[in-house]
Amino acid sequence: MTQQFDVLIIGSGLAGLTMALQVADHKSVCLVSKREVSDSASSWAQGGIAAVLNSEDSIEEHIQDTLIAGAGLCDTEITRLVATKARESVEWLISQGVEFTREADNKALHLTREGGHSQRRIVHVADATGRAVQKTLAQKIREHANITILENHIAVDLITTRKIDKHSPENKCLGAYVLDNHSGKVITIAAQQTVLATGGAGKVYLYTTNPDVSTGDGIAMAWRAGCRVANMEFIQFHPTCLFHPHAKSFLISEAVRGEGGLLKLPDGTRFMPEHDPREELAPRDVVARAIDFEMKKRGLDCVYLDITHKPLKFIKQHFPNIYARCLELGIDISKQAIPVVPAAHYSCGGVMVDAQGKTDIANLYAIGETACTGLHGANRLASNSLLECLVFGRAAANTILSAPTQAFSKLPNWDESRVTDADEEVLITHTWDELRRFMWNYVGIVRTDKRLSRALHRIHMLRDEVQEFYKNFKISNDLIELRNLLQVAELIVESAISRKESRGLHYSKDHPNMDAEAIPTVLEPKNYQEH
């Protein structure tokens, strides 16, 4: 049976929720969430949203800081668009009920500073901005009569005109197949407009700050449908993820360094001054490489982030969640330095889109971390990601609202007549583990041609095994995610192999210098097949 909606939104992070709220007064909306609506990378964002909100700052400075961090690869016009729309995006969130932290007089918004920013321009809700924003918008989503929420559902693949008829002159998106994780049934959803807002792909790496749902689903589905992807080699490793056996993926916010936190070796010696004149406030790629260098050079499991020189009251006020979580684990950050390691954090590349979030396929949009808008270039500036979700969520929504109404196509139902129940799941768990380990070892912060070649060879072997499994057995959430992760891993490695230089987040020992000209890496599907 086919369900029909004007707009199908796959993903429930800030980009997806923004889009849903912008169109729902005029369109019927289906929001697909892999788990609960609140389980997204947006919810985990601690830092905040970058916006020019005081007279000492300027949009030009925000643009310049973004361009510098992006190492020559940012699209200047897109960067200007996003920086210019930042204030109204923050004001829209305030109008939705988000209560940002304010100064003691309770009037002006409190602005913090993060690495790579020349000014204080980060609006935040203490140290849990993403959670506060997500909670506020999710409540509004649930109350809206025009929005149908499918939680614990995962998109399997997009339905396009060329999937139905491979000789179709136009490749147009018609909807998607979606697996209900409770019943195990695949439902067919027809939509006039489909939006990919599935977030990033951090789970392709062994150590990540991302939630378990970050498996690159939107990027993989778009690629299989025929969309180009760009700049997939630029994976941002957050320099400071808490290193503790009982803390899974807990991020120590950039703002800790922004407010004076110092990085130290186990003996208490600082090391950032030797790596960059900006010291702890250097952009993330510089800091992550410095930590990686020190750990490898000295055989360390971690380094330490020290904020103990600040008063307890200051720490509790600025970092209540970090303070509480570390205390649960026996670390009093007002008296002890925090053990930290770099971890995969953000995908700067993704599905290629224009200024409205449109992909190469008609009626298909990509917004948020899934997309490559040109804003981040070779390295994302801190707190520009939630901002990008807002700006592009609203831009794509305006385009959809102005699009002419179309007739719904009759779509074929999911065919599983030739598959059986899987006899054992061990292939999935073992392959997942193997993939994440060799991606961490071979395609991490520092790369070599040999490591990349080795990784690609393993990916091809595993991909063929998993594709065979996918064809013959009933699909599951884990199988869909593994298939998508292998596809995204291949795109990351192929992109990294093609870049014969070091730029931003991509650092190659074999090609340590940066070319004079900055050229995006664009991969184009050739003779692609949809399954």
Highest mean pLDDT pick, 405-409, 460-464, 471-475:
460-464
In this prediction, residues 518-529 reach a mean pLDDT of 82
- Local confidence band at 423 (pLDDT 50, 70, 90 cut-offs): low
pLDDT at residue 525 in the model: 92
- Local confidence band at 44 (pLDDT 50, 70, 90 cut-offs): low
- Whether 521 has a pLDDT exceeding 50, the answer reads yes
Under 8 Å between Cβ of 90 and 102:
no
Question: Which range, of 31-40, 59-68, 140-149, 220-229, averages the lowest pLDDT?
Answer: 31-40
Question: Which residues, other chains included, contact 182 with Cβ-Cβ below 8 Å and sequence gap of 6+?
Answer: 152
Under 8 Å between Cβ of 20 and 207:
no
pLDDT at residue 217 in the model: 98
pLDDT at residue 359 in the model: 98
Q: At what angle do helices 449-472 and 426-442 cross, to 10 degrees?
A: 160
- Local confidence band at 527 (pLDDT 50, 70, 90 cut-offs): very low
pLDDT at residue 45 in the model: 66
In this prediction, residues 360-365 reach a mean pLDDT of 97
Number of H helices, E strands in the chain: 16, 18
Question: Which residues, other chains included, contact 91 with Cβ-Cβ below 8 Å and sequence gap of 6+?
Answer: none
Q: Tell which residue, 368, 255, 231, has the closest CA to residue 305.
A: 255
> Is 451 one of the catalytic residues?
no
Query: DSSP states of 384-436 as a string?
Result: -HHHHHHHHHHHHHHHHHHSPP-PPPP-PPP--TT-B--S-SHHHHHHHHHHH
Q: Which residue is listed with tokens 């971390």?
A: 369
- Which among 121, 224, 257, 284 is annotated as catalytic? 284
Q: Tell which residue, 73, 102, 100, has the closest CA to residue 89.
A: 100
Under 8 Å between Cβ of 440 and 500:
no
In this prediction, residues 423-437 reach a mean pLDDT of 86
Q: What are phi and psi of 444, to 5 degrees?
A: -90, -140
In this prediction, residues 144-165 reach a mean pLDDT of 95
What pTM, to 2 d.p., does this model score? 0.91
Under 8 Å between Cβ of 166 and 49:
no
The residue that leads in pLDDT, 526 or 53, is 53
* Distance from the first to the final alpha carbon of the chain: 20
Percent of the chain with pLDDT over 90: 78
- Local confidence band at 57 (pLDDT 50, 70, 90 cut-offs): very high
DSSP 203: G
- Local confidence band at 66 (pLDDT 50, 70, 90 cut-offs): very high
- Whether 365 has a pLDDT exceeding 70, the answer reads yes
For residue 452, the one-letter residue type is L
Instruction: Give CA 251 to chain center in angstroms.
Output: 14
Q: CATH: 1.25.40.10, 1.20.58.100, 3.40.190.10, 3.40.640.10. Which one for 426-516? A: 1.20.58.100
226-259 pLDDT per residue, tens: 999 999 999 999 899 999 988 777 889 888 998 9
In this prediction, residues 143-149 reach a mean pLDDT of 96
Under 8 Å between Cβ of 186 and 177:
yes
pLDDT at residue 424 in the model: 67
- Whether 528 has a pLDDT exceeding 50, the answer reads no
309-342 pLDDT per residue, tens: 999 999 999 999 999 999 999 999 999 999 999 9
Domain boundaries, the chain: 2-44+128-233+348-402, 236-344, 426-516
- Local confidence band at 530 (pLDDT 50, 70, 90 cut-offs): very low
Distance CA 289, CA 267 (A): 20
Under 8 Å between Cβ of 518 and 503:
yes
Distance CA 218, CA 227 (A): 11
DSSP 381: P
Q: Which residue is listed with tokens 């090391």?
A: 271
Q: Tell which residue, 390, 410, 402, 397, has the closest CA to residue 29.
A: 397
Q: Say which CATH class 236-344 falls into.
A: alpha beta
Q: What sign for the dihedral angle of Cα 444, 449, 453, 456?
A: positive
Superfamily of domain 2-44+128-233+348-402, CATH level 4: FAD/NAD(P)-binding domain (3.50.50.60)
Question: Which range, of 23-32, 125-134, 460-469, 515-524, averages the lowest pLDDT?
Answer: 125-134
pLDDT at residue 41 in the model: 66
Percent of the chain with pLDDT over 70: 97
In this prediction, residues 146-166 reach a mean pLDDT of 95
Distance CA 203, CA 214 (A): 6
Question: Which residues, other chains included, contact 38 with Cβ-Cβ below 8 Å and sequence gap of 6+?
Answer: 12, 131, 134, 135, 138
- Local confidence band at 529 (pLDDT 50, 70, 90 cut-offs): very low
- Reported as half-sphere exposure (CB side, CA atoms, 13 A), residue 437 has a value of 7
Distance CA 142, CA 149 (A): 8
- Whether 531 has a pLDDT exceeding 60, the answer reads no
Query: DSSP states of 3-67 as a string?
Result: EEEEEEEE--SHHHHHHHHHHTTTS-EEEEESS-TT-SHHHH--S-EE---STT--HHHHHHHHH
Q: For strand 338-347 and strand 235-242, is the pairing parallel, antiparallel, or unpaired?
A: antiparallel
